[in-house]
Structure 1
Amino acid sequence: MSVLPYAIAGWIFIIGVYGLATSRNLIHAVGCLAVCQSSTYVLLLSVGYRDGGTAPVFSDLQPGSRPLVDPIVQALALTDVVVGATLTALLLALVVQVDKRHGTVDPDELSELRG
């Protein structure tokens, strides 16, 4: 079992968190959150990968003859894509409303949001 996919998922997540921490634009911050979300795709697919595995939908395979790929992890990855796209669209809609109301997307200039 290789740790390379897990390292790549961690690297993508760190890149997204770094971009989020250094972002001075709300649109850039939403993009960085999407990058963090994409690291979960790599993580889920690496968890479900089986070397030499086949799809579990073939009925002509003898039980135990070949390793099967886990279909639940693939379904979770697909669900993760849908949730990520929905979350990104919602956050971008909120950024548009912030820009309409305050005239800026710079978090430092949003003085009305400070406590």
Structure 2
Amino acid sequence: MAETVIHFVIYEAIKARLEEQFPGVEHSNGNNFLRCMVAGATSKTIATCVAYPHEVARTRLREEGTKYRSFFQTLLVVYQEEGRAGLYRGIGTQLIRQIPNTAIMMATYELVVYLFTN
């Protein structure tokens, strides 16, 4: 949930910045679609990097019979035993899976909103 909130806040900020720098872009020429894809991919990358330790802790807490007891205790144990790399183990795979999906989804969403409002 936190990752989704972070993603949408950053997405809207990037989208607004792109609209400031490139005013009056027509939806029909494909440039806006590509800009929405870039904004979606960039915002999802940032949100995933910020929230990934949360996902690592949640995954470790699901393991049965482990030393992990609570969220913050899990983060601390992972950091102490594995360092920063432990908090981000598997992030490459996560990004490869999520970024293209999010880029296409956000651009498609913006296109559908545009088509329904015009």
Q: TM-score, normalised by structure 2?
A: 0.38
Greater helix share, 1 or 2? 2
Q: TM-score, normalised by structure 1?
A: 0.39
